[in-house]
Chains A and B, each alone.
Chain A
Amino acid sequence: MYEPPFTRDRDANERLAARECDACGWVSFPEHREICKRCGSVGEWTDTELEERGTVQSYVVQQRLPDEFETPLPLAIMDVPQTSGGDPARVYGLFTETDPEHIDIGMEAEADFRRIFDVDGLPIHSFKFKRPRGDRL
């Protein structure tokens, strides 16, 4: 974990820590510092946490990637709610253990804590998504 970018984002990657703009409710994830990307205010922020689930807004299924990726690899833009309510965060979500036929816009997906990849042999952990167990086809 000595790579600065990964250390910096560790709370977001491992605990789904985010921040909510007090002025407009936009959720900053991974966290940004002072300026709100939606309303532009340099305002106050409230610490918040995201739920370990989200709703698919759009998706693709990647078929051709370098060897270190599992393919076919579904990838979605997801709306992930805050545990405390308010607006969801919009994030890119990598999927795992999901048949490409079983992913769709509007579906709910569960997050699973996983080893995402290695940097110089050291593991980077974060969340991947999959179809909820009860919904498995």
Chain B
Amino acid sequence: MRDVAVVGAGMIDFGELFEQSFDDMAERAYLNALDDVDKGIDSEDIDAAWFGTLDIAENASSGLGLSHPTGLFEMPVTRVENACATGSTAFRSAVEAVRAGSADVALVLGAEKMRDSAGGLIEGASLEQVWRGRGVTMPAFFGLRATRHMEEYGTTREQVAEVSVKNHENGSKYPHAHYRFTCSVEDVVDSPQVTYPLNLYDCCPVTDGAAATVIVSEDVVEEYTDDPVWVAGSGLATDTVQRGADESLAGFPATQQAAEQAYEEADITADDIDVAEVHDCFTITELVTYEDLGFCEKGEGGAFVESGKPHLDGEKPVNPSGGLLAKGHPIGATGVAQVNEIYEQLRGEAGAVQVENDPEYGLQHNIGIGRDATGSVSCINVLSKDRP
């Protein structure tokens, strides 16, 4: 198997982009990624592309959704859909193909128009199966973990809120973030209740966005850069709360399993990760993800965020970009953008949110849920500064 490197990363500023079409966003993210390649790249160099979108606004339901805005025709384009792990799964799929030798240069593009359709995900949730879907919204699905975590481990409401405070602080310094305000623990716990125990500032915004990444094989990497970032490992797993494991009431076994795969492939442990971009669709998601990824012991997520370790200047910075809470969560773009942020961190190019521990390994993580909000899927990619 060949080693694979990231050589270009592009995204657009996330936000309420009513004035931009899906194609506008995808085209700009793609061009930004091409522009980012140190020694330049021609569109003709690209052998294949992977396209991540849930197509919530229904305008890109095939590979054409990538080909049309980029002008990349007459090549294999694979559309990937994997709930909120769509972008990271598209990246993982592209990496596997380049590793296996079916392409030397591949494009990964993720995009989502979240604000063009009013109904959103609640429509599906309200009419799906009586027992599994009725009335189970996204904040409910994650809030169930929060209630249980607080009961089982004594995690406080304030500790959960700390995640929002940290990520908004980081997001205020990150140029592509949707929201760039800061807030206090009091602001979070006093913000309007969405679904007890989660309030408005515990939830990520509804955001449009696009991101693109260029990856290449070891055989051609020198044509594009002298400073590549390598893919060290990845993992992908599924689970559902209905299997009856108590563990899944206050955590996400799928993340634990995906992390195990990724660490094993990279031949590292959780201790080796220097910086991470993780799925914080809700505050509690990031808090339990510290535990699922092995950054701290089970039940210690609250103490971990309180200790300052995952802060920008801490020993294990998590979500220096502000995460989904500040940056936004345009589903297909989310994982691709996280890969790009880790790429920038490992190259020391993250500007105002550059971590200071000279990172060698960076981790990108998504958790996604299935149609009935009972299943879950997790995808993790680990990048490294040195060739694995």
Contacts and interface: CB of A to CB of B under 8 A. Distances in A.
Interface residues of A, number: 40
A30 B127 contact: no
B136 interface: yes
Given A63-B194, A63-B196, A105-B147, A58 B135 contact: no
A12 to B, nearest CB: 7
B126 interface: yes
B139 A62 contact: yes
A124 B130 contact: yes
Given A5-B129, A64-B194, A116-B130, A26 B244 contact: yes
Contacts of B143: 60
Interface string A87-129: 1001110100000100001000000000011010000101000
Given A60-B195, A61-B196, A69-B135, A105 B130 contact: no
A15 interface: no
Nearest to B199: A63
Nearest to B132: A92
Nearest to B123: A66
A73 B139 CA distance: 13
B123 to A, nearest CB: 8
Interface residues on B, range: 35 or more
A78 to B, nearest CB: 11
Contacts of B140: 60, 62, 75
Nearest to B244: A90
A58 B249 contact: yes
A24 to B, nearest CB: 10
B134 interface: yes
A77 B194 CA distance: 18
B147 A58 contact: yes
A9 interface: yes
A58 B151 contact: yes
Interface stretch (B109-117, B179-187, B235-243, B258-266): B235-243
B37 interface: no
Contact of A13 (B131, B196, B197, B249): B131
A126 B136 contact: no
B131 A59 contact: no
Contacts of A13: 130-131
Contacts of A9: 129-131
Given A62-B137, A68-B126, A91 B131 contact: yes
A65 interface: yes
A60 B242 contact: no
B148 interface: yes
Nearest to A26: B244
B211 to A, nearest CB: 29
A30 B129 contact: yes
A26 B134 CA distance: 23
B122 A90 contact: no
Contacts of B137: 62, 65
Nearest to B122: A66
B281 to A, nearest CB: 15
Given A12-B131, A73-B135, A75-B135, A63 B151 contact: no
B193 interface: yes
Contacts of B311: none
Name the residue in A26, A65, A92, A100 with the highest tally of chain B Cβ atoms < 10 Å from its Cβ: A92
A66 B143 CA distance: 18
Contacts of A126: 130-131
Given A26-B244, A66-B122, 12 more contacts: A9-B129, A27-B244, A61-B195, A62-B135, A69-B135, A75-B140, A76-B144, A90-B241, A92-B132, A94-B135, A100-B196, A119-B127
Interface of A: 5-6, 9, 12-13, 26-27, 29-30, 37-38, 57-66, 68-69, 72-73, 75-77, 87, 90-92, 94, 100, 105, 116-117, 119, 124, 126
> Which 10 A-B pairs rank lowest in CB-CB distance, beginning with the nearest?
A58-B148, A61-B196, A60-B143, A58-B144, A62-B195, A105-B151, A60-B140, A58-B147, A90-B244, A126-B130
Interface of B: 122, 126-132, 134-137, 139-140, 143-148, 151, 192-198, 240-244, 246, 249-250, 374
